[in-house]
Chain A
Amino acid sequence: MFNLKPKPFSGGVHPKGYKELTQQQDISKDFVPDRVYLGMQQRNGSMLNSLVAVGDTVVKGQLIARGSNDMTVPLHSPVNGTVVDIKPYLSSHPSGIKSQTLVIANNGTKNWGIDYPPSDYQKLSHEQIVERVLEAGIVGLGGAGFPTGIKLRLARKSKVHTLLINGGECEPYLTCDDRLMREQAAEIIAGIKVMAKAIGATNSIIAIEDNKPEAINAIKQASDGISGISLKIVPSLYPMGSERHLIKAVTGIAIGPGQLSTAQGILVHNVATAKAVYQAVRYQRPLIERVITVSGDAIEAPANITVPIGSLVSQVIAECGGLKAEAKRMIAGGPMMGQVLPSPFVPIDKSVGGLLALSEEQINQRQSQDCVRCGNCVKVCPMGLMPFQMATHSNNDDWQGAQEFGLDSCLLCGACSYICPSSIPLVQYFQHAKSNINAQRSMMQKSNLARQLTEARQQRLAREAAAKKAAKAAKRKRPARSRSTQGES
């Protein structure tokens, strides 16, 4: 309460960072998995069609699967080797569901199988840039996994003027964006220029939390003297990385509930995505690897490491020296919003930015108690909701009541569960309520569709019956007429 600096948005928490575990080491690029497992099902549920068969030789960067439309980004081989299997395999989804997976054995060579001559993005039209981004299979690397090309195209349509690059990295433990900004600032800046051209934005802002001074310096140097690109230092406060809150902190504009940031002329992308876009447009290189943070107190040697997409979690952990303590929980992503991994043998997909193995002590989970209405959750909620009220309604299966208290605006950021002195699993309640509401909605859509079909069928039957009747009547009429004509003749 004695912090007199104005907060960039109301609410938020300051979880302990643990960033020092990995912050000071260079990104390791030595990891070579002996096999990669590439799931054919994407985050949004759509399926890819394989372009290769078991036994085929594939080279690094080769297109091996593509979807039916642009929402399903294509998949490229991250390694040189042979397709050894196409079978259902574990996915990183918390339920441990199996999906069709391409298994490629790596022959160990690291060179790209295809020549990628550099090209000048200035000569490309904005549609060509978007096309290259889509072809490279890039999705948002911040965690949401939305196809970047689609996002750029939509932004151009809604006349976005400001490109906001998210270097916040507010999740504890994660430092991969921090390291990327320190080591590859020039590529990030170049990627920002490409994206700004693609969407027609005149203004680009890179926002970095004030707990990353080296990254701020690196970006400052790389962007020095470039017009249209500026740097904004934002206070470290979780969830700064949330799109709405970053926009509020940087521009002061609050995006209303249900509104898209592009409606206000702002598009947000992650720093790692900017780098991938640069690679895709300049060299036409597909997204086949990413930098992830492997950390947590159960990891022997926490590090930031470049991993080919499809590497198994177990192999990445082995690369980081294995486990030194019992990992009570393995998490994909950060500790605030990350998802529990169902098994150590799941592959890493494009939207996984962190891999944590946490001991019981760091998870710090206790038996939950009754709510004492202390209001801490209300205080920290960055969306201005009343989590304890939403939880009461969710608990009683009153989804509508929960929605009335703002469930639809909930980010599931976890600030409320983090602070709750009664250790109530609030986010779990909200996820449960949200999935029930979604199920209800899809049921409704289904029944609507069924009703429409039934109505259409009834109308068709009625039409057919009427036509039949008319035909019959006409038939009956015709002989009558013919008779009458006969009579007349």
Chain B
Amino acid sequence: MAINNPIAAPHTHSGLSTTNIMYLVVLALSPAALYGVWIFGLPAALVIVSCCISAWLSEVICLQLQGKNWLSSIDGSSLLTALLLAMSLPASTPWWVASFGCIFAIVIGKHVYGGLGHNPFNPAMLGRVMLLICFPIELTNWQAISIPSLGSDGLIFSQQWLGIDGVSSATPLADLNQIVEWKGLLLGEHAGSLGETSALLIALGGLFLIWRGIIRPYIPCALLLGLTIPASIAHWLHPQDYASGLAHLLSGGAMLAAFFIATDLVTSPTSPRGQILFGAGCGLLIWLIRSFGSYPEGVAFAVLIMNAGTPVIDHYLRPKIFGSQSLFKRSKGA
């Protein structure tokens, strides 16, 4: 019979693990990623694969340097970072640019701060912003879509799909005159980053995560509202100068940000009210940067700015202690 050392309760566990969570998020993200490969072709696959491999290798090296068990590199967190970064890049990004961004995300974005759970900024967005500043041309060269068509003897792949020749096109955000109907935005049949195009698949993946309890609905809802409400007001006042709320919602990285980037566990607040403020702030900043900034897309900047505020939000917007009268009373008492 076991002679027990004093061990604190509980003597049971839900079975939830960080690794499970990471792979569930990867799973939720994969339909949109696969769809990106489908519409953009092999260059997109090359970006994703090069990101994943470079992320994993840099993770292993960083863990070794810190004297940690390198096996924890398969916990899914670096894979998720790689996938998120890859999906926010244009499909035509050269593989070495994508890899460089990924190495930066893992090494500077994560391990310099102490590894998983210690980074203040979303590593994937940090990597993307670094690339955007260092390689502005590669990062804004949106490849036009080339969906394989069904011919008499099977699928027909265009030259561009196979990565031999590329045709670039403007993203709907950069060129407001380009008319894209909302159905195209929803399904992703337009130019853009390789994983950001299908709002529908991304939203479905996000709903799956909410259903499984991995993320709470506060950040996605607050972000989408924080983006749509100011966009709709501005569009109603000046339809010529400002894109509609729906266009903002369905294009670019808005959906990806709402369900997968802003909801990153490590860098977002934990209390419901904190998450609402964080999400709304992200949404508003995305709209401001898109409308008035010099970059067409503001997701990465918006998320990073709000990440910086997360510790403060977590400090001030705590949940209400059970039975306590009001927050002001408590802060006075503390």
Contact = CB atoms under 8 A, between A and B. Distances in A.
A97 B268 CA distance: 45
A329 interface: yes
B67 interface: no
A244 interface: yes
Interface stretch (A41-49, A73-81, A249-257): A249-257
Nearest to A403: B334
A417 B10 contact: yes
B265 A372 contact: yes
A376 interface: yes
Contact of A373 (B14, B115, B270): B270
Given A363-B12, A384-B322, A344 B117 contact: no
A145 interface: no
A405 B216 CA distance: 22
B322 A257 contact: yes
Contact of B321 (A369, A379, A384): A384
Contacts of B2: 326-330
A372 B323 contact: no
A256 B321 CA distance: 8
Interface in A227-280: 244-245, 248, 254-257, 259
A418 B12 contact: yes
B117 A329 contact: no
B270 A385 contact: no
A373 B117 contact: yes
Interface string A217-230: 00000000000000
Interface stretch (B165-173, B237-245, B312-320): B312-320
Majority secondary structure of chain B interface residues (helix, strand, loop or mixed): loop
B8 A386 contact: no
A259 B4 contact: no
A15 B13 CA distance: 8
B16 A419 contact: yes
A418 B6 CA distance: 18
With a 10 A CB-CB cut-off, give which of B13, B116, B267, B314 has the most chain A CB atoms.
B13
Contact of A372 (B8, B266, B319, B322): B266
A421 B11 contact: no
Contacts of B267: 373
Interface residues of B, number: 48
Contacts of A255: 323
Interface stretch (A30-38, A134-142, A188-196, A424-432): A424-432
Nearest to A360: B2
Contacts of A9: 322
A447 B141 CA distance: 73
Contacts of A327: 1-2
Majority secondary structure of chain A interface residues (helix, strand, loop or mixed): loop
A45 B13 CA distance: 32
Interface residues of A, number: 78
Contacts of A340: 4-7, 11
A373 B12 contact: no
A337 interface: yes
Given A1-B213, A371-B117, A256 B12 contact: no
Interface in B207-244: 210-211, 213, 216-217
B234 to A, nearest CB: 32
Interface string B1-32: 11111111111111111101100000000000
A10 B210 CA distance: 18
A425 B8 contact: yes
Contacts of B77: 372
Nearest to B22: A372
Contacts of A256: 323-325
Nearest to A411: B322
B295 to A, nearest CB: 29
Interface string B94-128: 00000000000000000000011110000000000
Given A1-B211, A1-B217, A374 B21 contact: yes
A94 B6 contact: yes
B318 A95 contact: no
B291 interface: no
With a 10 A CB-CB cut-off, give which of B2, B5, B318 has the most chain A CB atoms.
B2
A336 interface: yes
Given A409-B322, A423-B17, A336 B10 contact: yes
A399 B308 CA distance: 27
Interface in A419-451: 419-423, 425, 427-428, 431
Contacts of A364: 12-13, 15
B10 A414 contact: yes
Contacts of B265: 372-375
Interface of A: 1-2, 9-10, 13, 15-16, 94-95, 172, 244-245, 248, 254-257, 259, 323, 326-331, 333, 335-344, 356, 358, 362-366, 369-376, 378-379, 381-386, 388-389, 404-406, 409, 412, 414, 417-423, 425, 427-428, 431
Closest 7 CB pairs of A and B: A375-B270, A414-B10, A428-B8, A254-B323, A256-B323, A370-B117, A374-B265
13 contacts: A2-B211, A257-B323, A331-B9, A366-B13, A369-B18, A369-B72, A372-B18, A374-B21, A375-B269, A375-B270, A382-B322, A383-B321, A431-B8
